[in-house]
Amino acid sequence: MEKENLKKIQKLTDLPTVELIKTLSTLDLKLVFSTSFGKEDQVLTDLIANNNPAIDLFTLDTGRLFSETYDVFNRTIKKYKRSIQTFYPQAAPLQKMVTEDGPYSFYESIENRKQCCAIRKIEPLKRAIKGYDVWITGLRKEQSNNRGQLEMVEWDESNNIIKIHPLLNWTEKEMDAVIDANNIPVNILHKKGFKSIGCQPCTRAIEEGEEERAGRWWWEQSKKECGLHT
């Protein structure tokens, strides 16, 4: 069944993005969109709110987000009159990690950082997408070399779900045009050099010429992924 659904969605990938969002509702599938309130996610929230209200929305609150992220979260639900289900880390493993290793253990090793991401993001994600057939994301090829290899529709083996990236081939210039035309709320940190915004302790502004995700876990030589999108 999953392969059949995958093929159905793959046939839609040549459609304009608005038509793709609309047509997904005809497939009799349970659809969910994950937002972290970056530019990509704000554009998709606007498209979903205006073209396919059947798509559910969720976000992951790690407990370490920027206050500016909470601000755009609040402005978004007020503008679109849409609830965004919020998932938090489980208290017990988070408490154990911080008690035993301290609040900044993720700076000490990649293993520690991955443990923090697993507790704060990956486990809540699995709860968030449970029961859905399709997970919609705001991934774009421009964000990093790693993401440049993605297909618009793929099977996520680790989460047993179809993933679709409607903005995969969009440029930042195209997103900015839509944001300006539709008065879409955006995080003010984007104007301060923060291209990709995650947890506050793990995010910095990028320098000219760096990849968009270079400011994430900047102290590591890694693929700049937390494990949500492997």
Cα-based angle 155, 161, 162 (whole degrees, multiple of 5): 50
Pairing of the two strands 31-34 and 85-87: unpaired
51 is a domain residue:
yes
Query: pLDDT tens, 11-26?
Result: 999 999 999 999 998 8
> Among residues 116, 117, 199, 226, which one is catalytic?
226
Q: What is the domain extent for residue 74?
A: 2-192
131 is a domain residue:
yes
More confident residue, 142 or 115: 115
In this prediction, residue 8 has a pLDDT band, given cuts at 50, 70 and 90, of confident
Nearest-Å Rg of the Cα atoms of the chain is: 17
More confident residue, 44 or 3: 44
201 is a domain residue:
no
d(CA 196, CA 7): 31
Query: pLDDT tens, 188-205?
Result: 999 999 999 999 999 999
223 is a domain residue:
no
Q: How many domains are there within the chain?
A: 1
226 is catalytic: yes
d(CA 140, CA 221): 21
Residue in this structure with the two tokens 């969605």, named with its chain if needed: 9
218 is a domain residue:
no
- Least Cα distance to 17 among 170, 154, 123, 121 occurs for 170
Residue 184: give its domain's CATH number.
3.40.50.620
Mean pLDDT for the stretch of residues 28-57: 95
According to the model, what pLDDT value does residue 19 have? 94
27 is a domain residue:
yes
- Least Cα distance to 2 among 30, 26, 23 occurs for 30
According to the model, what pLDDT value does residue 222 have? 67
- Asked which of 52-66, 71-85, 135-149, 172-186 is least confident by mean pLDDT, the reply is 135-149
d(CA 2, CA 138): 22
215 is a domain residue:
no
According to the model, what pLDDT value does residue 100 have? 97
pLDDT at residue 49 above 60? Answer: yes
Query: pLDDT tens, 121-178?
Result: 999 999 999 999 999 999 998 876 666 668 899 999 989 999 999 999 999 999 999 9
30 is a domain residue:
yes
